[in-house]
Each structure stands twice: as C-alpha cells, then as structure tokens.
C-alpha cells in the first residue's frame, strides 16, 4: 500500500467512504440477525467468538478483546445471552478474579443456525463485490487497523513505563 492519497481531500473522501460503508454494513447485518434470530449484531459476535474459542469458553477480558467490545456493551450482551440461555458465566476455581463466558448447547445451535444466512449477507454486502486483490487488500486493511489499535492501546502503558525510567 505504497500509493498514498496526494491531497487531504482524497484522504477525507477515502475515510468518509470507508466509515460510511462500515456503518451501513453493520446496520444491515444487525437487521438481518434481528429478523432471523431476534438478536443484534453485537450479541451474535459474542456468541460466534465463544463458538470458535477452545472449549467454547473465554475469560471476560479475552472475550472483550476478541470482540472489540467495551466493558459496558459486552456486559449488556452477556446478560442478554445469559437470560436467553445461550451463555453461562462461570468463576475460575483457582483465581476468583477470573470469570468465564461459556456458550451453551443452545447457543452453539443458534450460531450454527444463523451462520449460513449471516455468511451470505456478508458475501452479498461486500465480499461478493471483491476480486482476489480486493480480498487481500481488505485483509491487509484489517491487519493495519488491528496493529494500529494495539499500538494505541499500549501507548499509555509505554508512556508510563518510559516516565518511570531514570
């Protein structure tokens, strides 16, 4: 990705198109999941992350990281999923500070039932419009965004660590 936009207007137009597309896609995915399952996109992302996790369980911290969900949004999703019998929450037997979200058999069945329609929606909304080069560019963009986000999240810790050094 060495070709960079030459003007601030190009950069602004690219950013506006990107963020608008992400919002529109998320809204469409949310509508489809609400229609198909009666649950929103954020809850589905939590269920899917647990379905893919080893042992179908993650600490709440790992789940927040994997789903990119801030604490309050994740808590709300987990409470809703728990109320509907799709997730349980367990305490760690050796470390009281750790809590695990665990997908139930009903939760797994929900993800399995929803996945084909959800995948088709993603295909129709975005992936079906891309050729192999576009798919690779999308993958690279995702990697750049995750790396940048990780650097940003670590920045306060790195600054604090540097301030403590003589």
Q: Is the pLDDT of residue 133 over 80?
A: yes
136 and 82 in a single domain? The answer is no
pLDDT at 164: 45
Q: Is the pLDDT of residue 20 over 80?
A: yes
39 and 98 in a single domain? The answer is yes
22 and 87 in a single domain? The answer is yes
Residue 3 banded pLDDT, cuts 50, 70, 90? low
- Let me know: does 138 contact 130? Beta carbons within 8 Å: yes
Mean model confidence pLDDT for the chain: 86
Give dist(CA 43, CA 33) in Å, integer: 9
The range of the structural domain enclosing residue 35 comes to: 8-123
96 and 137 in a single domain? The answer is no
Residue 8 banded pLDDT, cuts 50, 70, 90? confident
71 and 148 in a single domain? The answer is no
149 and 119 in a single domain? The answer is no
Each residue's pLDDT tens digit, 87-120: 999 998 898 889 999 999 999 999 999 999 999 9
17 and 62 in a single domain? The answer is yes
Higher pLDDT, 154 or 113: 113
Give dist(CA 56, CA 52) in Å, integer: 7
Q: What is the DSSP string of 81-114?
A: HHHTTSEEEEE-SS-TT-EEEEE-HHHHHHHHHH
> Quick one: which of 115, 99, 98, 111 has its CA closest to 50?
111
In a domain, 164, yes or no: yes
In a domain, 2, yes or no: no
61 and 97 in a single domain? The answer is yes
160 and 103 in a single domain? The answer is no
Number of independent structural domains in the chain: 2
In a domain, 156, yes or no: yes
Give dist(CA 166, CA 65) in Å, integer: 33
CATH of the domain at 110: 1.10.10.10
In a domain, 3, yes or no: no
In a domain, 1, yes or no: no
Say what percent of the chain tops pLDDT 90: 63
15 and 32 in a single domain? The answer is yes
Q: Is the pLDDT of residue 53 over 80?
A: yes
Q: Which strands form 57-59's sheet, in the order they lie side by side?
A: 57-59, 99-103, 87-91
pLDDT at 82: 96
147 and 76 in a single domain? The answer is no
Q: Is the pLDDT of residue 153 over 70?
A: no
15 and 91 in a single domain? The answer is yes
């Amino acid at each position: 990705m060495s070709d960079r936009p030459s003007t601030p207007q190009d950069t602004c137009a690219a950013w506006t198109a990107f963020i608008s597309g992400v919002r529109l896609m998320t809204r469409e995915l949310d509508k489809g999941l609400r229609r198909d399952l009666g649950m929103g996109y954020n809850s589905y992302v939590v269920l899917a992350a647990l379905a893919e996790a080893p042992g179908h369980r993650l600490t709440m911290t790992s789940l927040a990281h994997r789903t990119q969900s801030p604490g309050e949004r994740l808590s709300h999703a987990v409470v809703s999923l728990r109320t509907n019998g799709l997730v349980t929450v367990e305490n760690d037997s050796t470390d009281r500070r750790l809590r695990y979200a665990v997908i139930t058999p009903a939760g797994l069945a929900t993800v399995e039932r929803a996945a084909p329609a959800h995948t088709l929606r993603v295909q129709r909304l975005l992936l079906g419009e891309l050729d192999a080069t576009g798919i690779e560019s999308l993958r690279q963009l995702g990697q750049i965004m995750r790396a940048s986000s990780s650097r940003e999240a670590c920045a306060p810790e790195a600054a604090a660590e540097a301030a403590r050094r003589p």
